[in-house]
């Protein structure tokens, strides 16, 4: 079973997200919005009709979104079937947060690696 299909996002904390977005835009050309991040759009190499995106976003240093992890970053991995992936991970003894979120752009769940890093799993909505 294929579990991860790609990198969905890279998220990290900052003292001043707005200023950091400005720095990244000025020096690296990343045009970001503190409310939406930067979206790198791409096409699936095996099926060019299938669009995708990877999100790069800065969060406030005190965000609770990264869960109980003390890490300053969180990776988001794309999965084709969130329920099947979670079932397989549960059988393997992986720590799974029971909280789920559904949005128009997809479904989300979270797991924790052995070092306490929170990982976000995202099943994108069709065509997103």
CA separation (Å) from 33 to 22, 37, 60, 82?
A: 9, 5, 13, 28
Cα dihedral 16→17→21→23 (10° resolution): 20
Say if 114 falls within a structural domain: yes
Kindly state the DSSP code that residue 37 receives in the 8-state scheme.
B
Say if 94 falls within a structural domain: yes
CA–CA gap between residue 102 and residue 125 (Å, rounded): 10
**Structural domain of residue 68, as residue ranges?**
6-14+40-124
List, in order, residues 6 or more apart from 120 with CB less than 8 Å away.
Answer: 8, 9, 11, 74, 75, 76, 77, 108, 109, 110
CA–CA gap between residue 7 and residue 110 (Å, rounded): 14
Say if 95 falls within a structural domain: yes
User: Which CATH number covers residue 46?
Assistant: 3.10.180.10
Say if 115 falls within a structural domain: yes
For residue 70, the model assigns a pLDDT of 87
CA separation (Å) from 73 to 1, 83, 86, 104?
A: 27, 24, 22, 24
Q: How many domains does the chain have?
A: 1
pLDDT digits (tens), the chain, 128 positions: 678 999 999 999 999 999 999 999 999 999 988 888 999 999 988 889 888 899 999 999 999 999 888 899 999 999 999 999 999 999 999 999 999 999 999 999 999 999 999 999 999 998 77
How long a stretch of residues is the chain?
Answer: 128
For residue 1, the model assigns a pLDDT of 67
Closest CA to 37 of 12, 16, 61: 12
For residue 10, the model assigns a pLDDT of 97
């Amino acid at each position: 079973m294929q579990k991860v299909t790609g990198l969905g996002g890279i998220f990290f904390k900052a003292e001043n997200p707005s200023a950091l977005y400005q720095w990244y835009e000025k020096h690296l050309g990343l045009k970001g919005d503190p409310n939406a991040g930067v979206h790198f759009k791409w096409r699936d190499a095996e099926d060019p009709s299938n669009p995708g995106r990877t999100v790069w976003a800065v969060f406030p240093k005190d965000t609770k979104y990264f869960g109980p992890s003390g890490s300053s970053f969180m990776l988001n991995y794309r999965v084709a079937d969130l329920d099947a992936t979670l079932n397989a991970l549960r059988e393997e003894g992986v720590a799974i947060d029971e909280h789920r979120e559904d949005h128009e752009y997809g479904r989300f769940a979270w797991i924790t690696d052995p070092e306490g890093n929170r990982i976000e799993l995202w099943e994108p909505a069709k065509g997103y």
